[in-house]
Amino acid sequence: MRLTIDHRTVYRFSEPQARLTQLLRLSPEDTYDQSVTGWSLHVDCDARMREGRDGFGNKVTMLYVEGPITGIEIAVSGEVLTNPSHGVVNGAAEPLPPPLFLRATPLTERDDAIAAFANDAVAGENDPVARMHALNGAVRKQFTLDEGRPVSGRTAAEAFGLKTATSRDLAHILATAARSLNVPARYVSGYSTVDADDAPAPHGWVEVHIDGLGWVAFDPWTGICADEAYARIAVALDAAGAAPVAGSRLGEGDEEMDVDVHVEGGEGQ
C-alpha cells in the first residue's frame, strides 16, 4: 500500500520565548515491511537541526530555535510503501532485549483490574498468538472509540475505568494487560488510515513479543493485527517515550498546541 502522510503541529505562545529545544520523532525508517519513498521535515522559522537516535533505537531530530519566538509550525509529509506482513515486524532496529518491555511505567503501572481482565480474555487459549488475538479483541470490545485528542497523563488504569478510549488509551491498556501475562509489550507511534481523517494526533498501537515469531503488531483500535495500512515511526514503553514532539522552552506565559494528521492509502507500486 502507498500511504501519503501529512502531519502538522503548531505551537503558539502567549509570551515570546527566548529558546526552544525539541526532540522530534517524526521520521519513518525503512524495514522489510515499509519503504520510505519520500519524506520532508519543515519548520517555519530559523532553526538548527541534528539527527540521531534515542535509547529505543528510534530515529530522532533535535530542533533548536533561538528567540524571541511567539509560535512555530513543525510539518512532515511524504510517502511510505508498505507490504503485507500479518503484523509481524521484520527488519526494524532492535537495540534492546524483549524482556525490557515487561517494565511498567507511570502510565502503564500494573493494575489488578486490568490483570483480571487479561486473564479472563485469554482463558482457554494455549497458543501464544491466539492468546494475544483474544486479548486484543477483548480490549476492542470493551470500549467505545474516542476520536478526540488524547488526554495527556491519563494512565492505563484511569482509562480502563472509562466507557470510551482513544487509540493511545487502548494501546496503554493492551500493553499493561500483555505485561500482566508476562508478555513483553511496547507502545508504537505512527500513522494509519484506520484512524479518523484529519486526526488530532498520530495513531498508537502495540507490539508484543512472541517466542519463535518475534515482535507482532496488534491494534486494539480495530481489534486485529496492524497491517499494510500502518506506517511505523517510534517505539517505547509508553506513549510518552514515543511522543512525536517533546522538549522544553525558555520563557514565560502559556502555550497552545494544534495537531492535524491526514493519511491517505492507495495502491503501491
Query: The whole model's pTM is what?
Result: 0.94
Q: What is the CATH number of the domain that holds 76?
A: 2.60.40.2250
Q: Comparing C-alpha atoms, which of 169, 205, 197, 5 is closest to residue 87?
A: 205
CB 191 within 8 A of CB 120: no
Rounded CA-CA distance 110/155 in Å is: 10
Is the same domain home to 161 and 107? yes
Residue 268 has a pLDDT of 61
Is the same domain home to 151 and 230? yes
Is the same domain home to 179 and 123? yes
Q: What is the CATH number of the domain that holds 155?
A: 3.10.620.30
Domain count, the chain: 2
Give, in order, the Cα–Cα distances in Å from 167 to each of 76, 107, 120, 139, 195: 21, 14, 22, 11, 8
Residue 22 has a pLDDT of 95
Range of the domain at 192: 84-236
Residue 196 has a pLDDT of 66
Is the same domain home to 193 and 124? yes
Residue 60 has a pLDDT of 96
Residue 201 has a pLDDT of 85
Is the same domain home to 53 and 122? no
Is the same domain home to 215 and 249? no
Is the same domain home to 165 and 53? no
All residue ranges of the chain with pLDDT < 70 are 196-197, 268-269
Residue 167 has a pLDDT of 95
Residue 269 has a pLDDT of 56
All cell numbers assigned to 26: 517524526
Residue 266 has a pLDDT of 85
